[in-house]
Structure 1
């Protein structure tokens, strides 16, 4: 059996910035999510040279949630993406770790690791909507403890060989998780999960944070590097940023701050991404809100006018 190259190595490298997209992407504000279209967009991103495609995890909607459209189950969607793509990394951004059983997450993660060898990344968040905790019978006040507890159980289950921390009494009742993961699946902390940077540096392969103004983000990166140096000395820990991008059709459109990102054209975007690279960001997750332009046109424009100056040739 031929060993597949580990495409995740292209995502997180010192001195380089890789670019991914976050699904779902809609063309207009009133559009529902066409799940099959999302698969097609991921295949297009793969062909265009993007480095990763990420899928969000939104279990429930309601009047308390700002988005009225429905989201696909992330693991079902990633299963489809694993077979519709060849090169691009695929990941969750972010699985709500507190509201899913860690063994179910482990089983899904291992399945994706085998469907898309060397391409799956597991992003984990704590959830920030109290109403969802109520629906799942959990207390939002416990989210910090649940996050740590579920992380520990999930991490053990993804080891090779897997470890099931809660075993039944007696050797004849021992539990096994088969098959094991085919590779070391990176577990990324998306947001803080209510944890300290020190805890994240010790336990996660990397940290994904939301966009902040440049000076603030630079300070966050320096805090992260300090935490890694003190609590994971000699180990590489990635630093990634989620960026909301309202891409304008005019390449020279001015750079304008919006919530969690920018409104600009490709020239402004190129400058923004180059600055992010130079300040230590390893990967950016582009979230493209609907603005009337077709999603495939925006992806094609970014790939043609922005990516060539940023992304090195893939390895392997």
Structure 2
């Protein structure tokens, strides 16, 4: 909480929160210890202006209505500061634990994301998908905007054209500068083709170790 407050004072734009539900000792890093939605609520209450981003919610591992409600709740309670990064998940131990076929996670990702978006922007509209039916009820709260800005992480088993058309932006991984430039150019071309002049950012994760000395 102190670091979050300090980052806000120094003018950083966003704090990012990971979604790593299980510790896999063979994976190489622990990830984030706290549940992202609980952690976001905790930090939201101790900051006031800095944006709060998820990098990223593994939506095939979560029920889409729970995800939709949690995201809209954080967005409302933080006065519209949530940026929703979404992904398929990448730790092999997680998929059997949550009953998800890893070979189908791209399809589950796309379907769950569709339900999240529709549940947040409609009221009492019946929604049916392969694992559920919402009828005669409404999901509340709704987000502060018509739709939360969401950013696809990696390819999430989707085509670049789909990401350029459907998402608010693309979040990818560090690469050597010349290779990354090619990805940036490909992304901008896909956005022009799929979304015209709409601005959709290219985001790159980067770890920085802070040393007191």
The two structures share one fold, judged by TM-score above 0.5:
yes
How big is each residue's C-alpha offset from its partner over 1:86-124, in whole Å with a ceiling of 9 and x where there is no partner? Answer: 110001110001101111111011111111112111100
Equivalent of residue 87 in structure 2, options 125, 128, 145: 125
The secondary structure found in structure 1 opposite 2:188 is helix
Aligned residue pair count? 209
Tell me how far 1:69 sits from its aligned partner.
7.0
Tell me how far 1:209 sits from its aligned partner.
0.6
2:110 is aligned with 1:138: no
The residue aligned with 1:270 is none
2:156 is aligned with 1:193: yes
Tell me how far 1:48 sits from its aligned partner.
1.2
The residue aligned with 1:264 is none
Tell me how far 1:51 sits from its aligned partner.
0.4
2:143 & 2:57 partners in 1: Cα distance?
A: 18
Equivalent of residue 70 in structure 2, options 98, 108, 112: 108
2:201 is aligned with 1:238: yes
2:124 & 2:142 partners in 1: Cα distance?
A: 6
Tell me how far 1:131 sits from its aligned partner.
1.2
The secondary structure found in structure 1 opposite 2:104 is helix
Equivalent of residue 204 in structure 1, options 167, 171, 183: 167
Contact 1:160 1:181 in 2 (8 A): no
Cα gap change, 1:112/1:220 in structure 2, threshold over 3 Å: closer, same or farther? same
The secondary structure found in structure 1 opposite 2:185 is helix
Higher relative contact order (CA 8 A, sep 6+): 1
2:117 & 2:32 partners in 1: Cα distance?
A: 30
Compute the TM-score of the two structures, normalised by the length of structure 2: 0.91
How big is each residue's C-alpha offset from its partner over 1:273-297, in whole Å with a ceiling of 9 and x where there is no partner? Answer: xxxxxxxxxxxxxxxxxxxx35xx8
What does residue range 66-81 of structure 1 map to in structure 2 within 5 Å? 66-68=28-30, 71-81=33-43
Larger Rg: 1
Long gaps (5+) in structure 1: 1-38, 248-292, 298-316
The residue aligned with 1:261 is none
1:229 & 1:67 partners in 2: Cα distance?
A: 37
Contact 1:168 1:174 in 2 (8 A): no
Tell me how far 1:161 sits from its aligned partner.
4.8
The residue aligned with 1:213 is 176
The secondary structure found in structure 1 opposite 2:205 is strand
Cα gap change, 1:84/1:227 in structure 2, threshold over 3 Å: closer, same or farther? same
Contact 2:170 2:201 in 1 (8 A): yes
Long gaps (5+) in structure 2: none
1:92 & 1:168 partners in 2: Cα distance?
A: 27
Contact 1:91 1:123 in 2 (8 A): yes
Moved over 3 A (4+): 160-164
